[in-house]
Structure 1
């Protein structure tokens, strides 16, 4: 009896669907820049578009918002366009309308949303990242039926930048690589320029992928990286409580 041949895998439809998602976001960002004359308003609209995309592709254990990151010593980061943080174990604090204050211990990653990538925006995003990474993070033991889990060492906070395009003639080529912050607290680990591609340093060196499918490739790589670090450390809420007794 002749066996039915195995079907030939066909990923074309899935790749095309992912590329459609990217083109849709390109059109939204382009429409915002053409129809809104006030620059801060364009930036706010673009942030919301990116936040919507991140929320659509990240599991519900992660939340994405703009806001400030704070620590138990009273320090605060600069305003961050997109913060990926834990929503299961950690509440946001002092929320007022769209201004959220997120404990540093809850943060997985931070991103800046810009109209394009150039030297000044890369440096700016690196400075924003440093304002988060310099914050103090607590970690306490977690009780369980058999005793206690030791305090978890806080993982490195990822940082990146997203934009519609790159401003260099070679896209994400040598000019981009020569201006990418890649040391210390200002390091940018990943990002996406929709019309030119995406990048990350998750394997030790900067990897650049071309334009086609770059958005979803970037999101899947980011998701895999987030999965690899597990859950956030348990916050020492007693340290935050001490703020109320400080003079």
Structure 2
């Protein structure tokens, strides 16, 4: 019997791949000059492709947008290509130009979208994503809104990987060797540790990077619960097939559904505003 779900999924992934790889380049590539035109719009179209794909598969309680992540101590991230957040716990902070700002507490995942990813491009993306995880660990006041499993426990991103922000990269292809790819993923920035490594990397042409657990299965966390580092695995696609993208989606959805969501501590975020007031006692 024909697997209807698999057939529909393959059609969607084929359409996504064509739009990401071909449509974006056809619209914004000058064949005569052999270079991109309007590179900013080229990147925005690819980001929109990935956002559309994720919105098709993530439950409706999650939003997907671009913007900035704000830490409790006033830290601000780079402009993130993709932010997955919980709609029920995320206040709407924005500028008149519709640039959005997300409290770190309700951010579930952050993704970077790249074209051809060599060692330098990966360094830039992975360093930015590691800083987001470090920002999450700097949270001072944490009130859990949702966690898996649903039990009473303290928030502890250093000990429970579900309490961390999920990070991922989507790109057109890897243009570096597997050794360099592995070396970059394992690199440290700004005091980052193995638990701060990226969760998933998917290259539309090359394959999807996951980790390999103790049973030799693909896994989406870089370390075991006891902190043991896991080796990296590249899942290479069969020509003309999209199993590696389906694998990326499967594990990203698992990560999002398993992640801890916190109530935004607005007192922390608004503290500088709250202290700028004059108190008058009324008899």
TM-score, L = length of structure 1? 0.81
Gaps of 5+ in 2: 29-36, 146-151, 158-162, 212-219, 222-229, 277-283
Counterpart CA distance in 2 for 1:208 and 1:15 is 22
Counterpart CA distance in 2 for 1:177 and 1:91 is 37
Q: What is the Cα deviation at residue 27 of structure 1?
A: 1.5
Is 1:223 the counterpart of 2:253 in the alignment? yes
Counterpart residue number, 2:24? 32
Is 1:232 the counterpart of 2:261 in the alignment? yes
Counterpart CA distance in 1 for 2:51 and 2:203 is 15
From 187, 194, 208, give the equivalent of 2:197.
Answer: 187
What secondary structure is seen at the aligned counterpart in 1 of 2:60? coil
Q: What is the Cα deviation at residue 70 of structure 1?
A: 0.5
Q: What is the Cα deviation at residue 55 of structure 1?
A: 1.2
Q: What is the Cα deviation at residue 141 of structure 1?
A: 6.9
Distance 1:205 1:227, change over 3 A: farther
Counterpart CA distance in 2 for 1:23 and 1:96 is 37
Counterpart residue number, 1:174? 179
Query: What is the count of residue pairs matched by the alignment?
Result: 228
Distance 1:92 1:131, change over 3 A: farther
From 6, 9, 34, give the equivalent of 1:18.
Answer: 9
Counterpart CA distance in 1 for 2:265 and 2:103 is 11
What secondary structure is seen at the aligned counterpart in 2 of 1:134? helix
Counterpart CA distance in 1 for 2:119 and 2:43 is 18
Counterpart residue number, 2:167? 159
Distance 1:114 1:90, change over 3 A: same
Q: What is the Cα deviation at residue 199 of structure 1?
A: 1.7
Q: Which segment drifts farther, 174-183 or 151-160? A: 174-183
From 236, 254, 260, give the equivalent of 1:210.
Answer: 236
Task: Say whether the 8 Å CA contact 1:197–1:214 is kept in structure 2.
Answer: yes
TM-score, L = length of structure 2? 0.72
Q: What is the Cα deviation at residue 118 of structure 1?
A: 1.5
Q: Which segment drifts farther, 56-65 or 13-22? A: 13-22
Deviations 1:156-212 (A, max 9, x none): 1121210122224x6xx3342233245526622202111111122325432322223
Task: Say whether the 8 Å CA contact 2:144–2:261 is kept in structure 1.
Answer: no
Distance 1:41 1:226, change over 3 A: same
Superposition misfits of 4+ residues, deviation over 4 angstroms: none
Counterpart residue number, 2:280? none
Counterpart residue number, 2:270? 241
Counterpart CA distance in 2 for 1:165 and 1:140 is 40
Gaps of 5+ in 1: 1-8, 143-148
Counterpart CA distance in 2 for 1:98 and 1:119 is 33
